[in-house]
Chains A and B, each alone.
Chain A
Amino acid sequence: MRKILVPIKRVIDYAQKIRVDSSKGPQGVQLKNVKMSMNPFCEIAVEEAIQLKEKNKGAEVVAISVGPKQCTETIRTALAMGADRGIHIETKPDVRGDYVDLQPWAIASLLKGVVEKEDAVDLVLLGKQSIDSDCGQTGPLLAGLLNAPQATFAANIERGDDGSFTVERETDTGTETIKLNACGKPAVITCDLRLNTPRYPTMPNIMKAKKKPVNTISLEDMVKELGLDLDEVLTPQNEVVEVYEPPPRKEGETVGSIDELLGKLKEKGLVA
């Protein structure tokens, strides 16, 4: 194996309570002073990349992220887990990554350019979706743009000696096994929860990660380098109209007997 590219996203930490200020319209989700971490599905993708690297000596794992300057910390976490180098496409501080400004189409376009520029990429591993926008589109869009084979919701990945990938996909109706044949294009695989348990990096690895190379390039420069149109990248295809907290759950009713329960269900038209 030569290169594994792992796009990762910096999002609000999954354990944080999301605060919404509906007076701010589409910008309602509060990002200031909120703990941010690597998207959990991206963590799983990084872990899988490291495990593949450990099985295939000589493979290089490259972590890439699009976001503000703090993204470098997220990339450092991937490096601490075992990635070899990082690419940080830096956006201006007010550009939001949670679907308001940057959306999957723009990211996939950037990633396509990076894959082609890097050359020798055998595999792109992404999280199946990010926990802020929940789109799940970046992987499939990238595969489409690259005309590359893809498998989403991977719960198991095996690499064949011929460079093919056999992927077990978790779907709502069961597990499906797909083989991505080696075809000169990188395989694009998105990772689901049960694929692995991401390692906690140890201190020595965290310190080593500080010395691993991270190439930072501004979004504008990267767009120019890849020959893309900056407007196209920065103008979202979809507009966020409204952001609001879900209404609080209403208290349930307590009933005194099964008959009463049946009565209520009938009243609400839930039972004939």
Chain B
Amino acid sequence: MHQRLEERQSIIIPRYFSSPSLHFRHSSSSAAAATAAPPSRLPIDFLEILQNNHPNLKISLNKYDLDSHGHGESHHPVSPPDAVLYPSSVEEIQDILRLCCREVYREGDVVPTVEIVSVIPYGAGTSLEGHLNFMLPQDDSVESNNDIIVEIPVSLFESNNSGVSEQLKNETKKVRIKRKGGISLDMCNFQSVGELTPGDGFVKVGAGVTRNSLNDALRHTGLQFMIDPGADATIGGMTACGASGTAAVKYHTMRENVLAMTTVLPPQTIASVTNDTRSRSKPRVVTCGSNALKNSAGYNLPHLFIGSEGTLGIITDVTVKIYPIPSHVIAASCTFDDLHTAAEVVTTIRMLGIPVSRIELLDEISIRAFNQSVKNEELDPMEEKATLFLEFSGHSESSVMADLSAAQAVCVDDFEGSNFVSARDEMTRNEVWAARHKLYYSSIALRGGGDNDGEGATSQSTIVTDVCVPLSSFADIITATAKDLRDLDVFGTCFGHAGDGNFHCILPLRPDDTDEYKGNVFKVIELMAERAINVGGSVTGEHGVGYGKKKFLEKMYGGAGVSLMQTIKRSIDPWSIMNPGKIVDLS
């Protein structure tokens, strides 16, 4: 079971980052030293054991790789892992996860130590609420909460014998529990795109496939994956974060588009390490869901993992729905004198049942940012007023034109919108939606401030937040937020998926901003979240909770709801290996 002290001493292993004899693929221990990566917090032999059993497993200790795997696309500070691993198979992931909860004897130990390594799966690194932040104390020699002695049942340990005898079942054992750093599992090697069967509207893809490369692989099939968050995220990441985009008003979100998936679960038991690490209880691999469009069989496991943000397991492949490319598409835009009216138009269009494939609302600051970003292209700048961008798609010219006319009537006749223009050609339509997608970056650019020797706003200093509310409240909530921005003199753009009642607020910060300004920025966010909760909406329609929005979960779901989430987390990941500190905490 556990190794005797003398055995451990005979395997003395130097700390890997200073030993030139240990040879990791693609790493450069000299590079790590030269660029001064902080000393690794991982268990001494962790990477060596892995590399010995999986010589082809690529591991990087390069500081740049570590940093890039320790943050997403927003203001949450970088908190890097101690190593980045690039697995290529489910088996490798099982072995890695198994090693993340292990019983060892270290020199000077009185009781054995259970060493726990945190794991965060990595897709494209585009998450927005600190999902990829390892949040580990820098110095692991600090004997804080990190290092506690508990008594735990012997049954939690992997056993040499099959089964646990009645007598052993009640025995407990004293161990020290120590968190020992974190690793990033980069899923880029999971690139499979499955064969399509004619007549089926789904495809099975590896978790590391990005949505654009999936659609490129599908380019001759007549079918496309329709979920379009701004970033070219991976399908695994999109599943883990419950992503969606401008197409949600017609094609919905990942929740409605994932049919099945395969997930490697974290270990339930504590491993002990001898030289043979391939034996015994491997972390389980769950394949859940069904390729059928409807499935009433058992608990809805895929939905458990969708939106779980890497806290419940490593998703390795996902079967997603794909849809025929519409034969006829036409885009349109319309300006309104005020934001509230524009938002009301959206509710009316939805209530009248007019089919839209996209409907986005931009406030006047967003339009200013939008105009700046298309200065170099051939689109004319738009009037700086609240604007709706719409798109209609369908299988026939006449149905699309009928949808367009109906929406036009609402915009212009009922709500006095002006300058209703439509565009049929693909290039213009693509340019409009590309500019809409780039609003995140063009908002930051508009805040700018980087000219006079100082650093301006960047995506690392920008707070981006989103809420989603029932349609009936949408007009009031977005208007109230726009008013907060004006009243508190905070720069922000409000825009979003009006058809779903979901809008974003981009709040770029500059290094020269006062504390008062920053305080006001956070106030805007708090007010948004509170209002959303008060009308029965959600504190996040798309971006997820990460650690940034954990505090709102109790207000949304109450103590019982959060407690149920903790129960689920505890039973699937009792050692809190998977992305600890996100969504819920375990005591």
> Which of B's residues lie within 8 Å of A, judged by CB?
26, 28, 30-31, 34-35, 213, 216-217, 219-224, 324-327, 395, 426
Contact = CB atoms under 8 A, between A and B. Distances in A.
- Contact-size category for A: 10 to 19
Given A200-B219, A200-B222, 13 more contacts: A13-B217, A15-B216, A77-B220, A199-B426, A201-B220, A201-B325, A202-B324, A202-B326, A203-B325, A205-B222, A206-B222, A251-B26, A254-B35
Nearest to B213: A15
Contacts of A218: none
A251 B23 CA distance: 13
Nearest to A13: B217
A37 B216 CA distance: 12
Nearest to B32: A254
Nearest to A74: B220
A202 B325 contact: yes
Contacts of B217: 13, 15
A200 B34 contact: no
A93 interface: no
A80 B223 CA distance: 13
Given A15-B213, A15-B216, A202-B324, A254 B222 contact: no
A195 to B, nearest CB: 14
A199 B327 CA distance: 12
A139 to B, nearest CB: 23
Interface string A244-256: 0000000100111
B219 A251 contact: no
A174 interface: no
Given A15-B217, A254-B28, A200 B224 contact: yes
Given A254-B31, A254-B35, A37 B222 contact: no
A203 B31 contact: no
B222 A203 contact: yes
Nearest to A199: B426
29 contacts: A13-B217, A15-B217, A37-B220, A77-B220, A80-B220, A80-B222, A199-B426, A200-B219, A200-B222, A200-B325, A201-B220, A201-B222, A201-B325, A202-B325, A202-B327, A203-B222, A203-B223, A203-B324, A203-B325, A204-B395, A205-B222, A206-B221, A206-B222, A251-B26, A254-B30, A254-B34, A254-B35, A255-B34, A256-B34
Contacts of B220: 37-38, 77, 80, 200-201
A251 B224 CA distance: 39
Considering the complex of A and B, which 4 residue pairs feature the smallest CB-CB distances, nearest first?
A203-B222, A254-B31, A203-B324, A254-B34
A251 B34 CA distance: 15
Contacts of A255: 34
Contacts of A254: 28, 30-31, 34-35
Among B216, B219, B220, the one with the most A-chain Cβ atoms within 10 Å of its Cβ is B220
Contacts of A201: 220, 222, 325
Contact of A251 (B28, B35, B221, B324): B28
The interface residues of chain A, by DSSP majority, are classed as: loop
B25 to A, nearest CB: 10
Nearest to A38: B220
A172 B219 CA distance: 30
Contacts of A13: 217
A203 B326 CA distance: 8
Contacts of B223: 203
A256 B325 CA distance: 53
Interface in A51-104: 77, 80
B399 to A, nearest CB: 14
Contacts of A15: 213, 216-217
Nearest to A17: B191
Contacts of B213: 15
Contacts of A204: 327, 395
Contacts of A251: 26, 28
Contacts of B326: 202
A103 B221 CA distance: 30
Contacts of B224: 200
B473 to A, nearest CB: 38
Interface in A198-214: 199-206
Interface string A183-226: 00000000000000001111111100000000000000000000
A200 B510 CA distance: 42
Contacts of A38: 220
A30 B185 CA distance: 30
A96 B176 CA distance: 64
Contacts of A77: 220
Nearest to B323: A203
A206 B324 CA distance: 11
A84 to B, nearest CB: 18
Contacts of A202: 222, 324-327
Nearest to B30: A254
A200 B30 CA distance: 48
A6 B483 CA distance: 59
A140 to B, nearest CB: 28
A205 B395 CA distance: 12
A145 B544 CA distance: 63
A182 to B, nearest CB: 30
Contacts of A205: 222
B192 to A, nearest CB: 11
